[in-house]
Structure 1
Amino acid sequence: MGKRLLAGAPAAICGLIEARGVGILRADVVTEVQLHVIVDMGQLETVRLPRHLEGQILDIALPRLNRVDGDYFPAALIQYLKGGAIDPEGEPKLR
């Protein structure tokens, strides 16, 4: 298995989530998680079936997605993490 990138919350906010318009919410604590994908919220995806992109964090390559303006985007991200995606050029992504 290759290198993995792990992330965790700082102690001051561990177990808390800010939900805009709702407030600060309590959440079950997970000490660390493996990162599987980069979502670039600064770049808008305009292509219907985009090519697979890759980004680097600390010299570790991860698949990269751009932000999509659509109410379905959070659900699509969850499904992406569960099952991966098919590259329009035929290569599977994430799995």
Structure 2
Amino acid sequence: MTGRTLHASAIAMGSRGLLILGPSGAGKSALALDLMSRGAALVADDRVALGAQDGVLIARCPPTLVGRIEARGVGILNAAPAGPTAVALVVDLGQAETDRLPPLRTITLCGVRLPLVLGPLHPHLGAALRQMLLAGRTD
């Protein structure tokens, strides 16, 4: 499995993963923590190793970061690691969404095309992403 490592975070909601992109300070770890408080498990924080396997994007945590997540102003927290997870959705906190009801956007990573939601972080984003992971989106 060939791939790449990104400055990102990732969580798993059941068997479906969310990859969280954005520049430093955009709220990647904060969004991951919010989703963890809603039942998600931590895949990786700060760096995510990505690779394609049989047309599926797999997110993994680099060994030195397993089970750790940064909580700004609190410290590095321990978390039960989810292990490698198939990514089903990507959010980019570095790109602003301007549409109230945006079109279905996509992103291609490691040759795999995935749905993309644009940020920035707002109060209902975690709840909306959780629901999208669990039940999808009506297009």
TM-score, length-normalised on structure 1? 0.82
Which has the higher Rg, Structure 1 or Structure 2? 1
Structure-2 change in CA distance of 1:76 and 1:56 (3 Å) = same
- What's the CA shift for 1:69? 4.6
Which aligned pairs between 1:12-91 and structure 2 lie closer than 5 A? 12-87=64-139
Structure 2 residue identity aligned to 1:53: R
Partner residue in 2 for 1:90: none
Q: % of aligned pairs identical?
A: 37
Structure 2 residue identity aligned to 1:82: L
- What's the CA shift for 1:68? 4.0
Give distance in 1, aligned partners of 2:121 and 2:89: 18
Unaligned ranges ≥5, structure 2: 1-53
Q: Is 1:5 aligned to residue 83 of structure 2?
A: no
Q: Deviations over 1:39-84 (max 9, x none)?
A: 1211101211101011100111101110145211111111111111
* The structure with more strand, counted as a fraction of residues: 2
Q: Decide whether the 8 Å contact of 1:4 with 1:60 is kept in 2.
A: yes
Report the 3-state secondary structure (helix = DSSP H, G, I; strand = E; otherwise coil) of the residue aligned with 1:5: strand
TM-score, length-normalised on structure 2? 0.58
Q: Decide whether the 8 Å contact of 2:94 with 2:120 is kept in 1.
A: no
Q: Decide whether the 8 Å contact of 2:93 with 2:121 is kept in 1.
A: no
Structure-2 change in CA distance of 1:69 and 1:16 (3 Å) = closer
Find runs of 4+ consecutive structure 1 residues off by over 4 angstroms: none
Unaligned ranges ≥5, structure 1: 88-95
Q: Decide whether the 8 Å contact of 2:55 with 2:112 is kept in 1.
A: yes
Alignment RMSD: 1.3
Q: Decide whether the 8 Å contact of 1:8 with 1:33 is kept in 2.
A: yes
